[in-house]
């Protein structure tokens, strides 16, 4: 009886591993072992935490696992198509939860590389405003490369300040969206498990094909921009309303941002990209916009701007302004003196 029971158990186990639904070309039943479906997310084991970036399991008892990162999740999302009652109940009963993450060795190296890259580009750090913001953005951009299995391209893509700014502009947000922690913080997605982790680094992206597609699109755009050559785009009217430059250099993919229409004193004029952003910040063409545009042109750190007034004249306010400047703010005779006072190079 015991032998028969053992044989039946072994047969059942074998049947679980054999795919009896496949048929051979001759029509006979195939005994090919059944391939289990690929699992992207698995349960965490005891003493393990998920890496906040790539999502893989990290043994907290092992050396070099990094400090524990704690974040708060405020509610849990509902599945698409959920009715209003389910959404309301979820929001009302979605108690705050403190979640813990760690860093695997690869992502610890990624964070160290982000700090090194930022130290090599102090002008970019000054432009971003603070080191913490810069570290977060560079780390997200590097995470995007790691998710695409292109982390080895980081040195080549961050050689100059322009290269780094391009990388941040195109990959910072897509990289932030594909982090494992983003699935859980500040709101836990309906298909995310706080007690789970990625079966392999970045395998959780199979649950978010939209974010993965945006990441690939952004990286393709990055490569396309690196192969482009800048071209000159003249002002559609005469010159920039603030700095007076008559033509700007831009990549073809960014040409639509080279000039922006501005209405000033009843006239339809244009502003270059830097000055247009300054006008948008100030809300109107005036002294605040002029100050900010000059600061951006001279790359003045944010800390040196407070309490300092440029007291410059916009090009459009010059008497009989009809000839554009060859360089931005060329009509200002004290630009070099201003740069020295602010401690930057003219």
pLDDT of residue 64: 67
Q: Where residue 25 falls among pLDDT bands split at 50, 70, 90?
A: very low
Alpha helices, DSSP H, located in the chain: 2-17, 84-93, 105-120, 122-128, 131-147, 154-157, 161-177, 209-227, 273-282, 287-298, 335-342
pLDDT of residue 15: 30
> What is the three-state SS of 28-69?
CECCCECCCCCCCEEECCCCEEEECCCCEEEECCCCCCCCCE
| Across 95-113, average pLDDT | 91
**Tens digit of each residue's pLDDT (9 = 90 or more) over 330-343:** 898 778 887 787 77
Task: Look at residue 103 and tell me whether its pLDDT is greater than 60.
Answer: yes
Q: Where residue 27 falls among pLDDT bands split at 50, 70, 90?
A: very low
Q: Cβ atoms within 10 A of the Cβ of 241, count?
A: 30
Task: Look at residue 13 and tell me whether its pLDDT is greater than 50.
Answer: no
Task: Look at residue 87 and tell me whether its pLDDT is greater than 90.
Answer: no
Average pLDDT value over all residues in the chain: 83
**Tens digit of each residue's pLDDT (9 = 90 or more) over 229-282:** 889 999 999 999 999 999 999 988 889 999 999 999 889 999 999 999 999 999
- Contact predicate 113/154, CB 8 Å: yes
Q: Cβ atoms within 10 A of the Cβ of 47, count?
A: 11
**Tens digit of each residue's pLDDT (9 = 90 or more) over 301-321:** 877 777 677 778 899 999 877
pLDDT of residue 11: 34
Task: Look at residue 172 and tell me whether its pLDDT is greater than 90.
Answer: yes
Which of the two residues, 15 and 113, has the higher pLDDT score?
Answer: 113
pLDDT of residue 228: 87
pLDDT of residue 95: 63
Rounded CA Rg of the chain: 28
Task: Look at residue 42 and tell me whether its pLDDT is greater than 70.
Answer: yes
Q: Where residue 326 falls among pLDDT bands split at 50, 70, 90?
A: very high
Which of the two residues, 2 and 122, has the higher pLDDT score?
Answer: 122
Q: Which two tokens stand for residue 110?
A: 């990624």
Farthest CA pair distance, the chain: 109
> What is the three-state SS of 183-197?
HCCCEECCCCCCCEE
**Tens digit of each residue's pLDDT (9 = 90 or more) over 135-156:** 999 999 999 999 999 999 999 9
For the entire predicted model, the pTM comes to 0.61
The domain locations on the chain are: 42-227, 231-342
Between CA 139 and CA 123 the distance in angstroms is 17
| Across 106-129, average pLDDT | 94
**Tens digit of each residue's pLDDT (9 = 90 or more) over 53-86:** 999 999 998 876 778 999 988 877 666 665 555 5
Q: Cβ atoms within 10 A of the Cβ of 48, count?
A: 17
pLDDT of residue 321: 76
pLDDT of residue 254: 85
């Amino acid at each position: 009886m015991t032998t028969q029971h053992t044989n039946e158990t072994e047969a059942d186990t074998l049947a679980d591993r054999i795919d009896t639904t496949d048929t051979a070309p001759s029509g006979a039943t195939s005994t090919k072992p059944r391939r289990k479906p690929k699992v992207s997310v698995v349960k965490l084991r005891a003493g393990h935490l998920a890496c906040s970036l790539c999502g893989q399991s990290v043994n907290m008892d092992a050396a070099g696992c990094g400090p524990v990162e704690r974040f708060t999740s405020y509610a849990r999302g509902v599945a698409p198509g959920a009715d209003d009652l389910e959404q309301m109940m979820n929001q009302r009963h979605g108690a705050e939860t403190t979640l813990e993450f760690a860093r695997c060795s690869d992502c610890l190296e990624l964070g160290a590389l982000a700090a090194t890259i930022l130290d090599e580009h102090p002008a970019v750090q000054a432009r971003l405003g603070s080191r913490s913001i810069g570290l977060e953005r560079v780390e997200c951009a590097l995470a995007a490369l790691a998710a695409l299995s292109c982390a080895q391209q980081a040195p080549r893509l961050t050689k100059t300040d322009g290269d780094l700014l391009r990388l941040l502009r195109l990959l910072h947000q897509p990289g932030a969206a594909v982090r494992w922690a983003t699935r859980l913080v500040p709101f836990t997605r309906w298909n995310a498990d706080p007690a789970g982790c990625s079966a392999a680094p970045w395998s959780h992206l199979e649950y978010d094909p939209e974010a993965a597609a945006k990441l690939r699109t952004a990286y393709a755009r990055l490569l396309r921009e690196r192969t482009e050559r800048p071209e000159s785009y003249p002002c559609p009217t005469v010159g920039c309303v603030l700095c007076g430059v008559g033509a700007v250099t831009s990549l073809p993919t960014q040409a639509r941002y080279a000039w922006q229409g501005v209405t000033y004193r009843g006239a339809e004029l244009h502003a270059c990209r830097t000055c247009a952003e300054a006008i948008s910040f100030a809300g109107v063409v005036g002294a605040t916009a002029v100050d900010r545009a000059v600061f951006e042109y001279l790359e003045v750190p944010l800390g040196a701007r407070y309490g300092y007034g440029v007291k410059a004249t916009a090009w459009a306010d010059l008497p009989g302004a009809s000839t554009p400047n060859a360089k931005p703010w060329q009509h200002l005779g004290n630009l070099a003196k201003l740069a020295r006072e602010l401690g930057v190079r003219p």
